[in-house]
Structure 1
Amino acid sequence: MSVDTAATARQEAEVANEAARRRTFAVISHPDAGKSTTTEALALHAAAISSAGAVHGKGDRKGVTSDWMAMEQDRGISITSAALRIDYEGQVLNLLDTPGHADFSEDTYRVLSAVDCAIMLLDSAKGLEPQTLKLFDVCRARRMPVITFVNKWDRPGREPLELLDEIEQRIGLRPTPLNWPVGIAGDFRGLVDRTTGDYVKLTRTPGGATKALEEVLDADRAAETEGEAWTAAQEEIELLEALGADYDEESFLAGKSSPVLFGAALSNFGVGQLLEAIVNLAPAPTAKLDVQERPRPVEKPFSGQVFKMQANMDKNHRDRMAFVRVSSGRFERGMVLTHAATGRPFATKYTQAVFGADRSTIDTAYPGDVIALVNAQALKVGDTLFDGPKVEFPPIPSFAPEHFVVARAVDAGKYKQFQKGIAQLDAEGVVQVLTSDVRGEQAPVLAAVGPLQFDVVRHRMEQEFRSPIEAAPLDYSVARRTDAESAPKLHALSGAEVLRRRSDGELLVLVHNKWRLRVIERDHPDLFMEPLLAGGVVEED
Structure 2
Amino acid sequence: DRNKVAESIAIEGLDDPKLAEHVPAHLLEKLLEEVEMARELLPKLDPQAVLEGHMTPIWFGSAINSFGVKELMDGIGAYGPEPQVQTAQPRKIAPEEKKVTGFVFKVQANMDPKHRDRVAFVRMASGHFKRGMKLTHVRTKKPMAISNPVLFLASDRELAEEAWAGDIIGIPNHGQLRIGDTLTEGEALRVSGIPSFAPELLQGVRAGDPMKAKHLEKALMQFAEEGAAKVFKPSIGSGFIVGVVGALQFEVLASRIEMEYGLPVRFDNSQFTSARWVSGDKQALDKFTETNKQHIAYDHDGDIVYLTRLQWDIDRVERDYPDLKLTATKEMMV
Tell me the TM-score range normalised by the shorter chain. Answer: 0.7 to 0.9
Root mean square deviation of aligned Cα: 3.7
| CA distance in structure 1 between the partners assigned to 2:133 and 2:208 by the alignment | 43
| CA distance in structure 1 between the partners assigned to 2:61 and 2:246 by the alignment | 31
1:489 match: 288
1:460 match: 256
1:414 match: 212
Identity %: 30
**2:255 aligns to what SS in structure 1?**
helix
| CA distance in structure 2 between the partners assigned to 1:153 and 1:322 by the alignment | 45
Post-superposition Cα deviations, 1:182-233, rounded to whole Å, max 9, x if no partner, equal xxxxxxxxxxxxxxxxxxxxxxxxxxxxxxxxxxxxxxxxxxxxxxxxxxxx
| CA distance in structure 2 between the partners assigned to 1:401 and 1:347 by the alignment | 35
1:429 match: 227
2:305 match: 508
1:189 match: none
- Contact 1:287/1:298 (8 A) holds in 2: no
Question: Could you list the runs of 5+ residues in structure 1 that have no partner in the other structure?
Answer: 1-57, 63-123, 125-151, 168-174, 178-246, 537-541
Alignment of 1:22-61 (within 5 A): none
Is it true that 1:446 corresponds to 2:321 in the alignment?
A: no
- With the length of structure 1 as denominator, give the TM-score of the two structures: 0.50
Alignment of 1:299-378 (within 5 A): 299-378=97-176
- Contact 2:197/2:328 (8 A) holds in 1: yes
Cα deviation for residue 512 of structure 1 reads 0.4
After superposition, the Cα gap between the structure-2 partners of 1:61 and 1:486, relative to the gap in structure 1 and judged at 3 Å, is farther
| CA distance in structure 2 between the partners assigned to 1:513 and 1:279 by the alignment | 45
* One-letter identity of the residue aligned with 2:142: R
After superposition, the Cα gap between the structure-2 partners of 1:493 and 1:500, relative to the gap in structure 1 and judged at 3 Å, is closer
2:270 to 455, 474, 479: 474
1:43 match: none
1:394 to 192, 208, 211: 192
- Contact 2:90/2:189 (8 A) holds in 1: no
* One-letter identity of the residue aligned with 1:360: E
- Contact 1:487/1:498 (8 A) holds in 2: no
Is it true that 1:286 corresponds to 2:162 in the alignment?
A: no
| CA distance in structure 2 between the partners assigned to 1:393 and 1:492 by the alignment | 36
Question: Could you list the runs of 5+ residues in structure 2 that have no partner in the other structure?
Answer: 7-13, 15-27
- Contact 1:301/1:388 (8 A) holds in 2: no
* One-letter identity of the residue aligned with 1:472: D
| CA distance in structure 2 between the partners assigned to 1:155 and 1:521 by the alignment | 49
After superposition, the Cα gap between the structure-2 partners of 1:415 and 1:390, relative to the gap in structure 1 and judged at 3 Å, is same
Equivalent pairs, count:
306
After superposition, the Cα gap between the structure-2 partners of 1:176 and 1:359, relative to the gap in structure 1 and judged at 3 Å, is same
1:166 match: 41
Alignment of 1:179-258 (within 5 A): 247=46, 249=48, 251-256=49-54
After superposition, the Cα gap between the structure-2 partners of 1:275 and 1:406, relative to the gap in structure 1 and judged at 3 Å, is closer
**2:119 aligns to what SS in structure 1?**
strand
Post-superposition Cα deviations, 1:292-317, rounded to whole Å, max 9, x if no partner, equal 35233333211111111111111221
Cα deviation for residue 323 of structure 1 reads 0.8
Is it true that 1:405 corresponds to 2:203 in the alignment?
A: yes
Post-superposition Cα deviations, 1:25-82, rounded to whole Å, max 9, x if no partner, equal xxxxxxxxxxxxxxxxxxxxxxxxxxxxxxxxx99679xxxxxxxxxxxxxxxxxxxx
Cα deviation for residue 486 of structure 1 reads 3.3
